[in-house]
Every structure is written in C-alpha cells, then in structure tokens.
Amino acid sequence: MLEVLRQEKKYLISLDKYYSLSRHFANVLQEDEHSSGDGYFIRSLYFDSLDDIDFEGKIEGAEVRRKIRLRNYGSASTSAKLEMKQKQGIWQKKRSLTLDRDKSMRLINGDYTMLLSCDSNFASECFGIMHMQCYRPKAVVSYTRKVFVGKENEIRITFDHHIKGTESNFDIFDPNLAEFPILDPFLVVMEVKYNGFLLSYIKDLIRDCNESERSLSKYCLSRSISKYYGLS
C-alpha cells in the first residue's frame, strides 16, 4: 500500500497558458518519466454511496470528505489502483493498493468481497465503507496528464487536459468506451501538490494564476448529466 500526505491547489487555466507554463517548468523541474509529449493517459472509475455522500460533500464544501476510485492507465493495463483520497482542511491524504485485472473487474461488477482476500488493512477498510454504505460505480473520467516533479518538498505539478467522462459504462478496461467532453477542450486543470510549503520560485511562476484557483472536481464534472439535468 502507498500512502501520501500533502497539500493541493487547483487552477483552471487556458490551453495557451498551459503551454507557456510547461516551457517554464521544463527549465526548473524534471519531467515525469511517463510524461513525454503532452503526457500520459489516465482513466478513473469513481464509486459513491446510493445517496451520493461523497459528491454532496464536495459540492457543499465539507471540511472532511473522501473519494474512492479505481484507476488505470489505458485499456491495455494489466492492473488498476484502488485509491482513497481523504481531505481534512488543507491536507490531502491518498492511499492506494494495486489490484490485478481480474480483481479490478470484480470490483467494477460490484463484488467487493474480494478485498477481504488482499491481506491489507486498507483493503479491509475500503470493503467496510463500500459494503456498509452501499457504494456503487457512478462515473468514469479520462484525460491526458502532463507532469513535472521536484525533489524539494515532493513538489508535483500536473496539467490535466482533454477531460472526458461517462455515467453509462463503467468498464475502464474497455478500449471502445464511449465518453463525452466534460470540460471545454481549451481549458486545462493545473494542480500544484507539495509537502510542507511551496517554494518561492514555484510561487513566482504561478503568481498570475492565483485568480484562477478553483475547488475543481473531475468526479463532480463527470456527474453533470445525472445531477444537473435531473436524471438521478
């Protein structure tokens, strides 16, 4: 199991700003090893309770909230990561556990009992939450991510673009998954993640982005049809 505790800031920027910042960050930070070109592909399936407790917590700005998702890096992936993100104040804690493709498909199909065979306290905790609170697959989100990293304070700058989603098919291994844009393709979500404090040269680079800081959630964007058009 992997556990990370950090702060995260999110910004909604233009595509032009993304390319400009990428050039600047390339001079002071290292590009993630998987992040060649415009980045790498990510697809996540989000789970939520029958009454959408995690969705509502985000919309209402609850001080303590969580998200549970299953993430892979394309339909050819042989495994996926079960992740739980928990927010308390300014801090974000993310824990993850890698599952093989068979176990991932069982999870997608609603069989959470296999988590009890993982010999992991985290897996058992996920089972308890998902079983007792009747969690179900709710939406899939896919996008391309460009990443820059810095060793100091474990800085990680991510740019997520061409964000798509669906609420009708939850198989993240399906190569023909039909998705639709859930964010303007000329907009990019920039996330600044770090431990402790943010270094001054990073602050300087993103200073003119401060007005675009947002409490964005790709999961909430993916629920746009059912939640905002009265289909849930």
Q: Could you read off the pLDDT of 123-159 as tens digits, one per residue?
A: 999 999 999 999 999 999 999 999 999 888 889 999 9
Helix (H) or strand (E) holding 58: helix 53-59
* Distances 124 to 74, 97, 114, 129, 130 between C-alpha atoms, Å: 27, 11, 10, 9, 10
pLDDT of 231 reads: 42
Please list the ranges in the chain whose pLDDT falls under 50.
230-232
Dihedral angle at the C-alpha atoms of 192, 197, 201, 205, nearest 10 degrees?
Answer: 30
Instruction: State both tokens at 38.
Output: 């415009």
pLDDT of 232 reads: 39
pLDDT of 224 reads: 80
Asked whether 72 and 98 are in contact (CB, 8 A), the reply is no
pLDDT of 228 reads: 64
pLDDT of 230 reads: 45
Contacts of 121 (CB under 8 A, 6+ apart): 1
> In terms of pTM, does the model score above 0.85?
yes
CA 26 to chain CA mean position, Å: 23
* Exposure letters 4-32 (e unless 16+ CB within 10 A, then b): eebbbbbbbbeeebbeebbeebeeebeeb
pLDDT of 3 reads: 80
Instruction: State both tokens at 160.
Output: 């997520």
Taken in order 89, 90, 96, 102, the sign of the CA dihedral is positive
pLDDT of 211 reads: 78
